[in-house]
Amino acid sequence: MTFTLFRNELLAVFRDGRGIVTLLIGFLLALISTWTSASTHARHDIAHDAAEGAARNAWNEREGDSPHSRAHYGDYVFRPAGPLSTLDSGLQSVTGRVIFTEGHRQNSAVHKPQQEAASLLRYDRLEPATVLQTLLPLILILIGFGTISSDRESGRLKLLIIQGARPLSLLLAKSLALWVIGFSICVLVVGMHLIFGEETDFSRTFLFLALHLAVLWIVAVLVVVVSARSRHSGSAAALLLSFWVISAIVLPRFAAITVTTLDPLPTRDVFQASMDQDREQGMDGHNPRDSRRQELEKEILSKYGVSSRSELPVNIGGLIMQADEEYGAQVWDKHFGGLEEHLMRQYEFTGLFSLVNPLQSADRLSMAISGTGLTSHLDFLRATEEYRREMVRKLNEEDAFGVTRSGGGRMRRTTAQDFYTGFNGFDYQPLSLSVQLQKSRLDLLALCVWLLGSTVLLFLTGQKIKRGGVL
């Protein structure tokens, strides 16, 4: 019985001109978003590879540098987009993927595709994740808002029940019919990703598909339940469209505004001023008159048992620069560590809204699975800083120890070009999927609660429908 009702519901959608048009729009959006996202990322990857190769060649071919000059010349770090970024680019478009690394300072990411983005909200671009999480639920609402209420108004519901159709089987069939429509569009999106994508992570792709199928089941069930509990199709449409507007647009922005109001981040100027203030408490490696530098020089002279810099077997400048760098690293750890904790606290707070908004939990889990969320970006920044420190440390040590002293005390540098070409470029290893999901436990819990709750509500609604087709 359920299968027969399910088949009839699908046929009814195809017989209805409005359903066909809405479905075609959904398929068209899926095709356009997947193709444009894949082509855009392909162009970005080509530019990324060219820029990365140019930066590495410039580093290797530059000659006549001292290690200290090379530390100021610096290097560029490029974050790989990831195999699922064509499905969900997440925050990469507003956080940037390129960082210039150099001695004595830490720089922010640049080359953001959306330089003018005002927030970390993502509804201003068309990509597969936006279609699946925002537009596809709307399509299911437009197709199914009258699936029960219109049958009740026409008397068809009463006739079906009199003929032996169980209310629960009817509701389940209508939910499955809506869900299969969403399923087909999801499979189309993921299939095109597998076709167009140059690299594929099948475990992440499977989870991405499973996540959106779960969310679409929740939406399909809610559409059918609201339609069953509404006396008129117009009332069902109003309630469901209100749900979509609140869930897809209002609540995500309300969550961002709330967390910004209750736990605001420091402004860039305040943050930088605080860092500069702490940085000034350390040694100025470029100022020979700095008292802390002079104290360090005395310690180094005493360590080597000499009375002047010209007697040292090393270049004292390199040792001073490394001491200055290590203090700067402590300042960075203090301030950026506090900023990271602040961001994660905000992220966890906004996660509470997933308990009342399944579309938001889908959005956050989608970014986690794709490796394009906040956790991934913070991990990239940490890895970049570790690379910068190791690069500068090696250069400072070479600046200090890559010298010889002649009989007259003159210092001659022994650094060869092979030292610079031997540097390994930045190789970022993204966080594993298990770590990403562990950071999203609250969103997983919220999604499971919505899955279970919506399914239970469907069964309860089916049991309450009386023989006359009313609750």
**What is the Cα–Cα distance from 218 to 169, expressed in whole angstroms?**
17
Instruction: Please indicate, yes or no, if residue 304 is contained in any of the structural domains.
Output: yes
Residue 428 sits at the vertex; the CA angle it makes with 426 and 433, to the nearest 5 degrees, is: 175
Instruction: Please indicate, yes or no, if residue 426 is contained in any of the structural domains.
Output: yes
pLDDT band at 468 (very low <50, low <70, confident <90, very high): low
Residue 102 sits at the vertex; the CA angle it makes with 100 and 103, to the nearest 5 degrees, is: 160
Q: Is the model more confident about 266 or about 406?
A: 266
Note whether 365 and 451 are within 8 A (CB): no
Determine the residue type at 236: A
pLDDT of residue 355: 93
Q: Domain span at residue 76?
A: 2-464
Pair of tokens at residue 419: 């030292």
Q: Is the model more confident about 39 or about 162?
A: 39
In the predicted structure, residue 319 carries a pLDDT above the cut 60: yes
pLDDT of residue 103: 85
Note whether 333 and 113 are within 8 A (CB): no
Instruction: Please indicate, yes or no, if residue 140 is contained in any of the structural domains.
Output: yes
Determine the residue type at 386: E
Most confident segment among 198-207, 215-224, 271-280, 406-415: 215-224
Q: What is the mean pLDDT of residues 281-289?
A: 62
Of 38-52, 372-386, 430-444, where does mean pLDDT reach its minimum? 38-52
Residue 15 sits at the vertex; the CA angle it makes with 11 and 20, to the nearest 5 degrees, is: 100
Looking at the chain, the whole-number percentage of residues with pLDDT higher than 70 is 92
Q: What is the mean pLDDT of residues 399-410?
A: 79
Instruction: Please indicate, yes or no, if residue 453 is contained in any of the structural domains.
Output: yes
pLDDT of residue 469: 56
**What is the Cα–Cα distance from 196 to 259, expressed in whole angstroms?**
38
Residues 6+ apart with CB under 8 A from 333: none
Determine the residue type at 138: L
Residue 202 dihedral angles phi and psi, to the nearest 5°:
-65, -35
pLDDT of residue 120: 44
Q: For residue 168, which of 127, 221, 119 has the smallest C-alpha distance?
A: 221
pLDDT tens by residue, 205-245: 999 999 999 999 999 999 999 999 988 889 999 999 999 99
**What is the Cα–Cα distance from 266 to 342, expressed in whole angstroms?**
10
**What is the Cα–Cα distance from 381 to 281, expressed in whole angstroms?**
25
Of 69-73, 281-285, 296-300, 445-449, where does mean pLDDT reach its minimum? 281-285
Q: What is the mean pLDDT of residues 392-400?
A: 92
Q: Is the model more confident about 128 or about 97?
A: 128
Q: For residue 471, which of 272, 221, 230, 174 has the smallest C-alpha distance?
A: 230
Instruction: Please indicate, yes or no, if residue 223 is contained in any of the structural domains.
Output: yes
pLDDT tens by residue, 74-91: 888 988 887 788 899 888
Of 179-188, 326-335, 403-412, 421-430, where does mean pLDDT reach its minimum? 403-412
Torsion sign over Cα 434, 436, 438, 440: negative
How high is the mean pLDDT of the chain? 85
Alpha helices in 197-308 (DSSP H): 202-229, 233-245, 251-262, 268-279, 291-304
In the predicted structure, residue 113 carries a pLDDT above the cut 70: no
CA distances from 327 to 256, 269, 331, 471 (A): 35, 21, 7, 71
pLDDT of residue 407: 64
In the predicted structure, residue 280 carries a pLDDT above the cut 80: no
Residue 187 sits at the vertex; the CA angle it makes with 182 and 191, to the nearest 5 degrees, is: 155
Note whether 285 and 318 are within 8 A (CB): no
Q: What is the mean pLDDT of residues 421-441?
A: 89
Instruction: Please indicate, yes or no, if residue 469 is contained in any of the structural domains.
Output: no
pLDDT tens by residue, 11-63: 777 777 767 887 788 888 888 888 888 888 888 888 888 988 898 898 888 88
In the predicted structure, residue 442 carries a pLDDT above the cut 60: yes
Q: What is the CA radius of gyration of the chain?
A: 30
In the predicted structure, residue 439 carries a pLDDT above the cut 60: yes
Instruction: Please indicate, yes or no, if residue 470 is contained in any of the structural domains.
Output: no
pLDDT band at 445 (very low <50, low <70, confident <90, very high): very high
pLDDT band at 281 (very low <50, low <70, confident <90, very high): confident
pLDDT of residue 453: 96
Residue 286 dihedral angles phi and psi, to the nearest 5°:
-100, 0
In the predicted structure, residue 100 carries a pLDDT above the cut 50: yes
Domain count of the chain?
Answer: 1
In the predicted structure, residue 3 carries a pLDDT above the cut 80: no
Instruction: Please indicate, yes or no, if residue 79 is contained in any of the structural domains.
Output: yes
Neighbours of 209 (CB within 10 A): 20
* DSSP, res 394: H
